[in-house]
Structure 1
Amino acid sequence: MAPTQAPAPPAPPRRTALLLRLLVGAQVLYVLGVAGAGYATTALGKAVALAAMPADLTTLKTTDFVRLRYAAATVPLAQWRGPAAPRARQSVYVLLAPTGGPAEAAVVGVFAEEPATAPGQAVLRGWVTDVFPRTLGLRYGLERYYVPAASPLRQDRAPRPLRVLVRIAPWGQARIVAVEEIVGK
């Protein structure tokens, strides 16, 4: 008697192959969309300079990222412009105005709703982290920065003041473009 072979597994249905192709196509479109939004933010966004300090340079020994602590991350509670008192984890719009020259932008007000801007002003989206009796703690989603290998930040022993150049797109997305040391401070 001849040995019997197990039947070959059935070929995958066309529907499964089509679904797999659609899934891969959707992932490719998503990645291209994220990259395109980043490039569009850099090209079309309004340039704003923010003052910052590296939170801890010792992390650069084990990772390529540094946390930035912005001067605009703590603002007086008197700058709050909302119908009700601010609360933690609340989305806010921070109105920034240039201080003149290449200096950093200053916070004009913190709003619950997107404010109208005058020429030269920009709106940076963020959220409230802490509400203190006299100040608000804010985050912008720009606190983590990749430090390239050739950056002078890698050679610094002590934190020095930084100027963080940010581009803010008309649709609200923000992106760090460059980080420079402030000379003379």
Structure 2
Amino acid sequence: MSAVSALPAVAGSLPDLPEPRRRVWLRWLVLAQVLFVLGVAVAGYATEALGRRIWLRTQPIDPRDLLYGDYLNLRYQIGELPGHLWRGEELPRRKQAAYVLLTPRPDSTYEAVGIYPARPAITGQQAVLRGSVQDVWRRGLRLRYGLERYYVPETMSRRLHQRRSLRVQISIAPWGQARISQIDTTAR
């Protein structure tokens, strides 16, 4: 017996399986990947269909990227909030989950009235949007919601980038996922 054949199998290598078992494992792996992709798509459609729709105020910035095409980076009014809205017992930390309690304004958009470390109870027309803390400073914090980038047709991005303010309709699913439904191009 040679010294090389006496060495144990390299950690992380697949064990020697019979050919039929390898095929079964390969089928399961492919099926898992397909189910994951379908799950992501179904979650997006379910958010749109089952979600509560609200309007938010935003400003468009950075309209074009050579690699990704035309899009709008959106800076929401609820993206930077004063620190006195924080309702947690401990100070917020970067990358911490944050739940923003929103109430309707007279112009039919929503504004933040509280930031919580756990999902708060809502009443009436209130809504809760889940985000994450990006920065914390003495008097406020910056939040990210995953709604900051919106891809648009080329002609629309130039027209929207010239605007100072936009209204964006988002759908918030009962389980907390949110997505942009539409951008109101007529409102000021």
Structure 1 length as normaliser, TM-score? 0.84
Answer with 52-61 or 160-169: which moved more: 52-61
Note the 1:144-163 alignment, pairs <5 A: 144-149=149-154, 151=156, 153-156=157-160, 158-163=162-167
Residue 92 of structure 1 aligns with which residue?
Answer: 98
CA distance in 2 between counterparts of 1:38 and 1:126 reads 17
Deviation of 1:129 after TM superposition, in Å, equals 1.2
Q: 1:167 aligns with which of 153, 167, 171?
A: 171
Q: 1:176 aligns with which of 150, 155, 180?
A: 180
Q: 2:83 aligns with which of 77, 87, 108?
A: 77
* Residues 1:40 and 1:62: Cα distance change in structure 2 (over 3 Å): closer
% identical aligned pairs: 49
For residues 13-49 of structure 1, give each alpha carbon's deviation from its aligned partner in whole angstroms, at most 9, with x where no partner exists.
Answer: 1111111111111111111111111111001001111
Note the 1:125-144 alignment, pairs <5 A: 125-144=130-149
Return 5+ residue gaps in structure 2 as ranges. Answer: 1-17
Residue 108 of structure 1 aligns with which residue?
Answer: 113
Alpha-carbon contact 2:48-2:171 (below 8 Å) kept? yes
Residue 54 of structure 1 aligns with which residue?
Answer: 60
Deviation of 1:160 after TM superposition, in Å, equals 2.8
* Residues 1:22 and 1:81: Cα distance change in structure 2 (over 3 Å): same
* Residues 1:123 and 1:156: Cα distance change in structure 2 (over 3 Å): closer
* Residues 1:83 and 1:157: Cα distance change in structure 2 (over 3 Å): closer
Note the 1:113-124 alignment, pairs <5 A: 113-124=118-129
Q: RMSD in angstroms over aligned alpha carbons?
A: 2.0
* Residues 1:61 and 1:30: Cα distance change in structure 2 (over 3 Å): closer
Alpha-carbon contact 1:160-1:181 (below 8 Å) kept? no
Structure 2 length as normaliser, TM-score? 0.83
Return 5+ residue gaps in structure 1 as ranges. Answer: 1-11
CA distance in 2 between counterparts of 1:171 and 1:60 reads 35
Residue 39 of structure 1 aligns with which residue?
Answer: 45
Aligned residues: 171
Residue 14 of structure 1 aligns with which residue?
Answer: 20
**Any idea what SS the aligned residue of 1:94 has?**
strand
Alpha-carbon contact 1:60-1:66 (below 8 Å) kept? no
Amino acid at match of 1:74: E
Amino acid at match of 1:125: R
For residues 130-171 of structure 1, give each alpha carbon's deviation from its aligned partner in whole angstroms, at most 9, with x where no partner exists.
Answer: 1122221111111111113453x3345634311111000010
